[in-house]
Amino acid sequence: MRHCINCCIQLLPNNKYKQHIGCGEGPLRGHPECPACKGENKIVLRVDGKQMNLLAVLEVRAEGNESWGRFLRFKKGKRCSLVFGLMIMTLVMASYILSGAHQELLISSPFHYGAFPSNPSLTDGENPSDTKEHHHQPSVNNISYVKDYASIKLIINSITARIEFTTRQLPDIEDLKKQELHMFSVIPNKFLPNSKSPCWYEEFTGRNTTDPYLTNSYVLYSKRFRSTFDALRKAFWGHLSHASGKHFRLRCLPRFYIIGQPKCGTTDLYDRLRLHPEVKFSAIKEPHWWTRKRFGIVRLRDGLRDRYPVEDYLDLFDLAAHQIHQGLQAGSAQEQSRMTRIIIGEASASTMWDNNAWTFFYDNSTDGEPPFLTQDFIHAFQPDAKLIVMLRDPVERLYSDYLYFASSNKSADDFHEKVTEALQLFENCMLDYSLRACVYNNTLNNAMPVRLQVGLYAVYLLDWLTVFNKEQFLVLRLEDHASNVKYTMHRVFQFLNLGPLGEKQETLMTKSPASNTRRPEDRNLGPMWPVTQRILQDFYGPFNTRLAQVLADEAFAWRKT
């Protein structure tokens, strides 16, 4: 006949409790009421021949020595069983403690994938010194990732099987005008013939006490730009042209754009290039007007604000316009030639890829693809614009992007999990939509925890090549720029038809430290896991291959040897 032990725990205030062991013993069918508890506020723990859940540990506080006395009065068999059970419990808990100290309790995400013995390169952004090796002890937790690599490979294979680089349908110029009536009313069809940059004069109807930047959205929404506009405001009236009792100001657009990509060295290229005396950039390095501000986007997650009019964007080039105006009004041919050689640039790294706003403004899409892209509007006004693109291995670009933008809990483990989640989301989209529709899908892009789509260079470049000629592009690799800055800058000078620099100027430009390099705290996190690198190489591989074909340069395939 089986027996049981009834253990009653009397609940007291403040989560305290009393224990009454041996309140009753008897056959299984008889459970006499504990006189101390009287059937109120009690939890009954019955221990019989059934297996206990050793992980459910209940702490019990004994009063005095009464419990020990009753324990000693247990029969020998029961004491042995209890001691044996305690020994098993101790061993199990000890194993958890030891394994937890070395293997993080052996608990892993269902989307972890294995590690490989090689170390990925750590080339970051713009600084060649970041290629130094960082040796970090691999987490034992990630050794278990290897066996799951095949499952994520299936997702990549599913995506690869659906990749199709199709030619987009170009919009009609009249359709573009309907979308941006005000922009087309401000920017003329023709520009001044004696200026390298696209410039024109427009009438200024204000008085000499009028603040021309009073309503500029860049000033209103950002305090850090106010000092820049204070200087422009002071110099504004002195750079107007006067004729027939009217006042005219020179307006300009950029002659060239550094259009991408983020975390690929665009800041370093910008900082070096602006040292050339013939180059003048916008008052703000990255206005993001074509892709975001003209739609009223500062941060998409914050919703839409008032749209920035094109006049606010043109204000950013007033400093360069003032100098060009001086050249146009100069009496000497030498001064006129020097000033009119000025070439204006703009370096928003979102220009090439960010079209997230289209879903809010363009409703006549075809199968989820945007009917208008940024390049359509730029080309409508500047069909001869020059475009510079700086790229890097998209695998390393994504990790650098993650380290730069992630705010907390950054680690190789966290990056791996986010990559896996992003791949699954991208595959879900590709099951129902075209490649282009998924790349420009605002909902998908906001849902992915890492910006996987930014590294799909071939998709963006092919779409830009539908409106601009290949000769209008200079496509550079960060890896080449980091290893030979002087050679890269000479290629840029030649592409923009810039004059030669003196020896001191060139030394200053090429020997200065790199800009926007990886932060020390991010560098200390070490590289991504090798298995994450392999997964991303598999994903980006087909896109890199297509890019190398378009550019006729195998270096853009970023094949590891």
Per-residue pLDDT of 338-377, as tens digits, reads 777 899 999 999 999 999 999 888 876 678 899 999 999 9
pLDDT higher than 50, residue 69: no
Q: Are 333 and 325 in contact (CB under 8 A)?
A: no
pLDDT higher than 70, residue 157: yes
Give the N- to C-terminal CA distance of the chain in Å, as an integer. 74
Q: How long a stretch of residues is the chain?
A: 561
- The rounded radius of gyration (Å) of the Cα atoms in the chain is 34
Q: What is the CATH topology of the domain spanning 173-556? A: Rossmann fold (3.40.50)
pLDDT higher than 90, residue 274: yes
pLDDT higher than 60, residue 232: yes
Using alpha carbons, select from 476, 421, 417 the residue that is nearest to residue 444: 421
Give the span between the Cα atoms of 235 and 228, in whole angstroms: 11
| Residue whose tokens read 């006067």 | 242
* pLDDT 10s digits, 313-329: 999 999 999 999 988 88
Query: What is the pLDDT at residue 143?
Result: 53
Question: What percent of the chain lies above the pLDDT cut of 90?
Answer: 54
Which contiguous run of DSSP H or E holds residue 243? strand 241-243
pLDDT higher than 50, residue 26: no
* pLDDT 10s digits, 375-418: 999 999 999 999 999 999 999 999 999 998 887 889 999 999 99
Give the span between the Cα atoms of 115 and 533, in whole angstroms: 10
Angle CA(286)–CA(553)–CA(156) in degrees, nearest 5?
A: 80
Query: What is the pLDDT at residue 522?
Result: 67
Query: What is the pLDDT at residue 454?
Result: 98
Query: What is the pLDDT at residue 59?
Result: 35
3-state secondary structure of 256: strand
Mean pLDDT of 507-521: 76
Average pLDDT, the chain: 79
pLDDT higher than 80, residue 550: yes
Query: What is the pLDDT at residue 63?
Result: 39
Count Cβ atoms below 10 Å from residue 429 Cβ, excluding itself: 21
Query: What is the pLDDT at residue 536?
Result: 97
Give the span between the Cα atoms of 32 and 23, in whole angstroms: 8
How does residue 430 score in pLDDT terms, banded at 50, 70 and 90? very high
Give the span between the Cα atoms of 108 and 115, in whole angstroms: 14
Query: What is the pLDDT at residue 336?
Result: 67
Sheet of strand 3-11, all strands in order from the earlier edge strand to the far edge? 17-27, 3-11, 42-47
3-state secondary structure of 280: strand
Query: What is the pLDDT at residue 54?
Result: 33
Model-level pTM?
0.74
**Residue 480: is it exposed, middle or buried by C-beta count within 10 angstroms (0-12/13-18/19+)?**
middle
pLDDT higher than 80, residue 137: no
pLDDT higher than 50, residue 309: yes
How does residue 236 score in pLDDT terms, banded at 50, 70 and 90? very high
Question: What percent of the chain lies above the pLDDT cut of 70?
Answer: 70
Give the span between the Cα atoms of 234 and 254, in whole angstroms: 23
Give the span between the Cα atoms of 82 and 67, in whole angstroms: 14
Using alpha carbons, select from 23, 96, 1, 108 the residue that is nearest to residue 54: 96
**Residue 305: is it exposed, middle or buried by C-beta count within 10 angstroms (0-12/13-18/19+)?**
middle
pLDDT higher than 70, residue 243: yes
Query: What is the pLDDT at residue 130?
Result: 41
Query: What is the pLDDT at residue 518?
Result: 67
3-state helix, strand, coil in the chain (%, to 5): 50, 10, 40
Query: What is the pLDDT at residue 83?
Result: 62
Query: What is the pLDDT at residue 33?
Result: 46
Query: What is the pLDDT at residue 3?
Result: 42
Query: What is the pLDDT at residue 80?
Result: 59
Query: What is the pLDDT at residue 554?
Result: 97
How does residue 93 score in pLDDT terms, banded at 50, 70 and 90? low
pLDDT higher than 70, residue 2: no
